[in-house]
Amino acid sequence: MNSFYDDKEHQSEQQRENTLFAQLPTQLLFAQNQCSYYQDKLADITLEKISSRALLASLPIMHKSDLIALQQAQPIFAGLDAKSANIGRIFQSPGPINDPEGEGNDWWRMGRAFYAAGFRTGDRIQNCLSYHLTPGGFIMDSGAKACGCAVIPAGPGQTEQQLEVIENLKPSGYCGTPSFLKILLDKAQQQNRDISSISRALVTGEALPEGLRSELQARGVETLQAYASADVGLIAYESAQSDGLIIAEDIIVEIVRPGTTEPVPDGEVGEVVITNFNKDYPLIRFATGDLSAIKVGISTCGRTNKRIKGWLGRADQTAKIKGMFVHPIQIERVRQAHTEIAKVRLLITSENFNDSMLLQCEINHENYSIEQAAALVLAISLSLKSITKLSGNVELLPLKQLKDDGKVIDDLRTLS
């Protein structure tokens, strides 16, 4: 059996760099000619000469967090889509941020991650990422199919029905968030349901703490992770447990000091910045907001591309909760929806690997009876769910109880 998805995975580092940076000037010129955003941002730059990492680092960075305002100013993709783009689907992630999907097989390039996780032709996979509005379900679906797998488009939730499907169809694999896989395993154990057909998983959408990985594997599910985004598709993937995430072969990844355009030395933590070669949706020095670091050396599996250490936090206050991004501007919209609120802070915690949100709201307590306060809590809770698409608890606090440190989102989770 071939250990590699294609020959790119074991080429020399120099060959890889030569190939990517030989293609880069052509891609930059394409983006400038085809995308109104880059016609402005890359004006007066001699793009034909940008053929090395050092020269790439001279180009401006675009931050993912800026997409919300950019897309509002220039619907629907802020001029980042090519005039010649062949867009087959349009998604809207929380923010809101609009994301395209072009036509063609495995447009998100996820097949490589599924192959490295051991999936092959004939496997059946229960796909538990959402197919509704956000692209996660389609991203995983396309990668599984690229490896010849049959996909069960289960989506998230409906635990009882999911268990019935697994018992009936006996998929050999799972893809989705690691926390939902644990929910399925826990529920199956409680109800004495047989879902032992699932022996491997490719998880994404949230961090995979080593404690959770160990628990999943102790219960018979070999679990590896992929790092992908709705904008870029596959960024990096695991091929062996705790061996780092191998950078996808067909993109350029830089680790940049947050707040600057300057790449950091290998091993130092910085923001993950992507340049892709997509002809529908070119992204040039796209700052994801995620923190990571280059892991020195190459994988023990024989794949030769550089690795990153995985998700090490956020460069901004944006947080991913149950596979969904929550942005500070969304929490501000909750505050603006209720004139009673003076100040807000969203606390994110995790217990038994399940995320939860608590929105703390400063109000003038002297103005509210117990009944009025309860009604306000309910109204704010409904606004929080409507704006973020996630449920959370609400706590009312007296004025001037929250720290004055500029934080709107306080992520208290750990990766242990």
Q: Give me the mean pLDDT over the 81-93 stretch.
A: 96
DSSP 8-class letter at 314: B
Token output for 303: 């794949």
Q: What is the DSSP letter of 263?
A: B
177 contact partners, CB below 8 Å, separation of at least 6: 128, 129, 156, 203, 204, 205, 206, 322, 323
Residue 406's pLDDT band (cuts 50, 70, 90): low
CA distance linking residue 250 with residue 109, whole number of Å? 9
Model confidence pLDDT, tens digit, residues 134-162: 999 999 999 999 999 999 999 999 999 99
Instruction: Decide which of 326 and 221 is more confident.
Output: 221
- Pick from 83, 91, 78: nearest CA to 40: 78
CA 114 → CA 8, 41, 131, 224, distances in Å? Answer: 16, 36, 18, 9
Using CA atoms, how far apart are residues 325 and 96, in angstroms rounded to an integer? Answer: 10
pLDDT of residue 304: 95
Kindly state the tokens that stand for 115.
Answer: 């192959």
Confidence band of 196 (pLDDT split at 50, 70, 90)? very high
Asked if 153 and 130 count as a contact pair (C-beta separation under 8 A), the reply is no
b or e along 12-28 (b: 16 or more beta carbons within 10 Å of the residue's beta carbon)?
Answer: eeeebeeebbeebbebb
- The reported pLDDT for the residue numbered 408 is 84
HEC assignment per residue over 60-126? CCEEHHHHHHHHHHCCCCCCCCCCCCCEEEEEEECCCEEEEEECCCCCCCCHHHHHHCCCCCCCEEE
Average pLDDT over the chain, rounded to an integer: 93
- Categorize the per-residue pLDDT at 400 as very low, low, confident or very high, splitting at 50, 70 and 90: confident
* Tokens 């003038």, residue located: 364
Give the tens place of pLDDT for each residue, 268-294. Answer: 999 999 999 999 999 999 999 999 999
Give the separation between CA 175 and CA 170, rounded to whole angstroms. Answer: 14
Cα–Cα dist 304/8, whole Å = 9
Phi-psi region for residue 406, left (φ > 0), alpha (ψ -120 to 50) or beta?
left
- Contacts of residues 252-255 at CB distance under 8 Å and 24 or more positions apart, as own/partner, are 252/20, 252/21, 252/24, 252/53, 252/56, 252/276, 253/306, 253/308, 254/53, 254/56, 254/57, 254/285, 255/292, 255/293, 255/294, 255/308
Q: Name the helix (H) or strand (E) containing 379.
A: helix 370-388
Cα-to-chain-centroid distance, residue 328: 17
How is 160-188 classified by DSSP, letter by letter? HHHHHHHHHH--SEEEE-HHHHHHHHHHH
Find, among 114, 121, 117, the residue nearest to 148 by Cα: 121
**Domains present along the chain, CATH in parentheses:** 7-249 (3.40.50.12780), 324-411 (3.30.300.30)
Going by pLDDT thresholds of 50, 70 and 90, the confidence category of residue 100 is very high
Residue 336, classed as helix, strand or coil, is: helix
The owner of tokens 């950091």 is 264
pLDDT at 1: 52
Predicted confidence band of residue 364 (pLDDT cuts 50, 70, 90): confident
The length of the chain in residues reads 416
- 189 pLDDT higher than 60: yes
Higher-scoring residue by pLDDT: 344, 77: 77
Q: Assign 46 a pLDDT band (cuts: 50, 70, 90).
A: very high
Q: Kindly give the residue spans of alpha helices, DSSP state H, lying in 261-355.
A: 328-336
Q: What percent of the chain has pLDDT over 90?
A: 76
pTM for the whole structure: 0.83
Report residue 404's pLDDT band, with 50, 70 and 90 as the boundaries: confident
Does the bond joining 178 to the residue before it have cis omega, within 30 degrees of 0? Answer: no
223: burial class by Cβ within 10 Å (0-12, 13-18, 19+)? buried
Spatial separation of the C-alpha atoms in residues 60 and 63, rounded to whole Å: 10
